[in-house]
C-alpha cells in the first residue's frame, strides 16, 4: 500500500515538473540556508574551542574597561588603563604563578615604499614572555625570540613575510619603519591560522612604551595560575584586590577579569545568539515553502476531483484518500529538503574555501554530521505533511457523487 502511495505521489509530481520545482523552491532555499548556517556555526565554534584549548585553562586575562564586553574592541577603545601598580598587585597573590603585561596599538608601518596601518604589540622579555607565547600559540619559524635589550628588533607574523602584505616580502635583517622609527627583522612566526595574528608586528615592551609615548601602561595583563588553584576562584580574588586598590565600587569597575573558560563561554554565547537570529530569518523561506506546498495541493485536488470521486466510488476509504495526498505533500517536502541539504553543503564548502584559501584564515571550518542531514530531511518532510493536512482533509471529505459531477 505504501509503495502504491509513493507511485501515485511521484507520478503526480513528475506529471507537473515545472509546478513541482516552483513549489519546492521555498523549501530548498530555507533548508539550504539553515544547513549552511548551522554547519558553519558549529565549525566556527569547534575551531574557537580548539584555540582556547591551546591557550590552556590555567590562564586569566585582565582587560581595561568595564563590563561592556571583553575582547579586542573593548581594549582598543577603552579610556581606562592598566598600570604597573595593577601588575604588582596581581603578582602578590598567592595563587599566581606568572603575570605579565603587553601593550598594542594600530600604527603606521612602512616597508620599502609601502605604508600600512597595522597592529604592533610590545611584549615582555623576561620569563613572563612564555605566557604570551602559550596564549597566542606563537612559535618561531625563522630567527630568534626577543630578549632584554632587543629594542631595535621586530618579529613578523607569517602573512607579512610570506604573502603580499606589502608589495615586497621582508626578510630577516631587513629594515621596517614603525611610526618612522627603524627596526630590524629578527624573526618570523609560524603560521597561526587567522589573519589578525599572522599580520602582527611584535617588538619589546620597552620599545613599544617609548614608541607609543606611554609609561608603565598595559593593554592586557595575562596571568598563569599555579597548579591545584581554581582559575575562577583566583579571578574573584584578583577582582576584589584590584577594586580595593583602585577605590572602585562593585559593579563599577574600570577593568575586567576573565578566565579562558569564561571568555570561551561568552564567545560561544554570542555565536549562538547570532546563529539563532540568522536561522530564524532563514526559516521565513521555509514558511513560504510550506504555503507553496499547501497551495499546490489545493490546486492538485481541484484538478483530480473526478479521480477522487472514482476512487471513492470503487471503495476507497477516506483514510486512504487522506494518505495519498499527505504522502504527496510529504514527498514535496522531502525532495525539497534533499536539494536544500546538497546546496547547503555546497554553500558551506564554498565559504570555507574562500575563507581558508583567499582570506588565509582557518576559523571557518564546515562541521557536517549525519544528525544535521537526517534532521533537515525529517523537518522538511514533516513541514510538507503539515502543509498538506488541510487540502488532504478536503479531498478525503468529498462526497463521491459531487466529485464525479465536477467539471
**Which residue bears the cell 577593568?**
255
Q: What is the pLDDT of residue 407?
A: 55
Residue 72 pLDDT greater than 80, yes or no: no
Question: What is the band of 3 on the pLDDT scale with cuts at 50, 70, 90?
Answer: low
Q: How confident is the model at residue 363 (pLDDT cuts 50, 70, 90)?
A: low
* 168-179 residue pLDDT tens: 899 999 999 999
What pLDDT is attached to residue 268? Answer: 79
- Number of alpha carbons in the 13 Å side-chain half-sphere of residue 389: 7
Beta bridge partners of 96: 225
- Find the length of the chain: 407
d(CA 194, CA 138): 12
The upper half-sphere exposure of residue 282, i.e. CA atoms within 13 Å in the direction of its Cβ, equals 20
Give a three-class secondary structure readout of the chain. CHHHHHHHHHHHHHHCHHHHHHHHHHHHHHHHHHHHHHHHHHHHHHHHHHHHHHHCCCEEEEEECCCCCCCHHHHHHCCCCEEHHHHHHHHHCCCEEEEEEEEEEEEEEEECCEEEEEEEEEECCCCCHHHHHHHHCCCEEEECCCCCCCCCEEEECHHHHHCCCCCCCCCCCCEEEECCEEEEEEEEECCCCCHHHHCCEEEEHHHHHHHHCCCCEECEEEEEECCCCCHHHHHHHHHHHHHHHHCCCCCCCCEEEEEHHHHHHHHHHHHHHHHHHHHHHHHHHHHHHHHHHHHHHHHHHHHCHHHHHHHHHCCCCHHHHHHHHHHHHHHHHHHHHHHHHHHHHHHHHHHHHHHHHHCCCCCCCCCCCHHHHHHHHHHHHHHHHHHHHHHHHHHHCCCHHHHHHCC
Return d(Cα 176, Cα 199) in angstroms, integer.
14
pLDDT of residue 56: 67
Q: How sure is the predictor about 361, in pLDDT bands with cuts at 50, 70 and 90?
A: low
Q: Which of 162, 180, 179 is nearest to 171 (CA)?
A: 162
Report the range of poorest mean pLDDT among 42-51, 122-131, 189-198: 42-51
**Residue 66, pLDDT score:** 63
Going by pLDDT thresholds of 50, 70 and 90, the confidence category of residue 137 is low
Q: ∠ CA 249-255-256 to the nearest 5 degrees? A: 105
Q: What is the average pLDDT across 17-39?
A: 84
Q: Give the contacts of 48 (CB within 8 A, at least 6 positions apart).
A: 264, 267, 268, 271, 363
Q: Say yes or no to pLDDT of 150 above 60.
A: yes
**Which residue's C-alpha cell is 604588582?**
88
| Half-sphere exposure for 147 (CA within 13 Å, toward CB) | 3
| CA–CA distance, 66 with 81 (Å, rounded to integer) | 11
367 pLDDT more than 80: no
Question: How many percent of the chain have pLDDT more than 90?
Answer: 23
Once rounded to an integer, what is the mean pLDDT over residues 47-53? 71
> For residue 74, is pLDDT > 60?
no
- Regarding beta strands 82-83 and 217-218, do their DSSP bridges make them parallel or antiparallel, or are they unpaired? antiparallel
- Residue 9 has what pLDDT? 66
Q: 316-331: per-residue pLDDT in tens?
A: 788 888 888 888 888 8
Residue range 154-174: mean pLDDT, rounded: 91
Is the pLDDT score of 189 beyond 70? yes
Q: What local confidence, expressed as pLDDT, does residue 120 receive?
A: 94
> Looking at residue 386, what is its pLDDT?
92
Mean per-residue pLDDT, 261-290: 80
How far is residue 66's CA from residue 46's CA, in Å, rounded to a whole number? 28
Is 352 within 8 Å of 43 (Cβ atoms)? Answer: yes
Chain mean position to CA 95: 34
What value, to the nearest 5°, has the Cα angle with vertex 132 and ends 134 and 53?
35
Global model pTM greater than 0.85: no
**Residue 46 vs residue 159, higher pLDDT:** 159
**186 or 391: which leads in pLDDT:** 186
Of the candidates 262, 223, 250, the residue with the CA atom closest to the CA atom of residue 70 = 262
Least confident of 3-7, 186-190, 234-238, 338-342: 3-7
Q: What is the pLDDT at residue 69?
A: 43
Q: How far apart are alpha carbons 312 and 314 in whole angstroms? A: 5
CA dihedral 339, 345, 348, 353 (to 10 degrees): -120
Residue 68 pLDDT > 60, yes or no?
no
User: Residue 77 has what pLDDT?
Assistant: 45
Check residue 405 and give its pLDDT: 67
Determine the average pLDDT of the residues in 245-265.
85
- pLDDT bucket at 201, cuts 50 / 70 / 90: very high
Q: What is the mean pLDDT of the chain?
A: 83
Predicted pLDDT at 280: 82
The residue among 27 and 68 whose pLDDT is bigger is 27
Report the percentage of the chain scoring pLDDT > 70. Answer: 88
Residue 357 predicted with pLDDT over 80: no
What is the structure's pLDDT at 351? 81
In this prediction, residue 206 carries a pLDDT of 92
Amino acid at each position: 500500500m505504501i509503495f502504491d502511495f509513493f507511485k501515485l505521489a511521484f507520478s503526480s509530481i513528475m506529471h507537473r515538473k515545472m509546478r513541482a520545482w516552483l513549489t519546492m523552491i521555498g523549501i530548498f532555499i530555507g533548508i539550504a540556508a539553515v544547513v549552511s548556517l548551522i554547519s558553519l556555526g558549529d565549525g566556527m565554534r569547534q575551531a574557537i574551542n580548539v584555540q582556547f584549548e591551546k591557550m590552556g585553562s590555567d590562564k586569566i586575562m585582565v582587560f581595561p574597561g568595564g563590563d561592556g564586553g571583553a575582547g579586542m574592541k573593548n581594549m582598543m577603545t577603552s579610556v581606562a588603563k592598566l598600570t604597573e601598580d595593577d601588575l604588582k598587585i596581581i603578582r602578590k597573590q598567592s595563587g599566581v604563578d606568572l603575570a605579565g603585561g603587553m601593550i598594542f596599538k594600530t600604527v603606521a608601518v612602512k616597508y620599502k615604499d609601502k605604508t600600512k596601518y597595522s597592529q604592533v604589540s610590545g611584549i615582555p622579555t623576561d620569563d613572563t614572555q612564555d605566557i604570551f607565547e602559550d596564549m597566542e600559540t606563537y612559535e618561531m619559524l625563522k630567527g630568534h625570540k626577543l630578549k632584554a635589550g632587543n629594542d631595535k628588533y621586530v618579529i613578523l607574523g607569517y602573512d607579512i613575510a610570506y604573502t603580499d602584505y606589502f608589495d615586497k616580502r621582508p626578510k630577516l635583517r631587513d629594515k621596517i619603519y614603525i611610526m618612522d622609527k627603524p627596526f630590524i627583522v629578527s624573526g618570523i612566526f609560524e603560521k597561526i591560522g587567522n589573519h589578525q595574528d599572522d599580520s602582527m608586528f611584535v617588538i619589546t615592551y620597552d620599545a613599544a612604551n617609548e614608541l607609543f609615548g606611554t609609561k608603565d601602561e598595559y593593554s592586557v595583563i595575562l596571568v598563569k595560575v599555579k597548579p591545584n588553584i581554581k582559575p575562577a576562584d583566583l579571578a574573584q580574588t584578583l577582582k576584589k584586590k584590584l577594586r580595593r586598590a583602585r577605590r572602585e565600587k562593585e559593579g563599577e569597575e574600570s577593568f575586567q577579569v576573565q578566565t579562558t573558560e569564561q571568555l570561551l563561554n561568552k564567545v560561544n554565547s554570542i555565536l549562538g545568539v547570532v546563529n539563532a537570529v540568522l536561522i530564524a530569518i532563514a526559516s521565513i523561506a521555509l514558511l513560504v515553502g510550506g504555503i507553496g506546498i499547501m497551495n499546490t495541493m489545493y490546486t492538485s485536488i481541484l484538478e483530480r476531483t473526478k479521480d477522487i470521486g472514482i476512487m471513492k466510488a470503487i471503495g476507497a476509504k477516506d483514510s486512504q484518500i487522506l494518505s495519498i495526498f499527505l504522502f504527496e505533500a510529504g514527498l514535496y517536502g522531502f525532495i525539497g529538503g534533499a536539494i536544500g541539504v546538497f546546496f547547503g553543503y555546497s554553500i558551506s564548502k564554498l565559504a570555507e574555501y574562500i575563507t581558508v584559501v583567499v582570506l588565509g584564515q582557518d576559523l571557518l571550518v564546515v562541521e557536517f554530521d549525519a544528525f544535521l542531514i537526517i534532521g533537515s530531511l525529517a523537518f522538511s518532510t514533516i513541514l510538507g505533511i503539515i502543509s498538506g493536512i488541510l487540502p488532504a482533509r478536503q479531498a478525503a471529505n468529498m462526497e463521491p457523487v459531487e466529485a464525479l459531477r465536477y467539471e
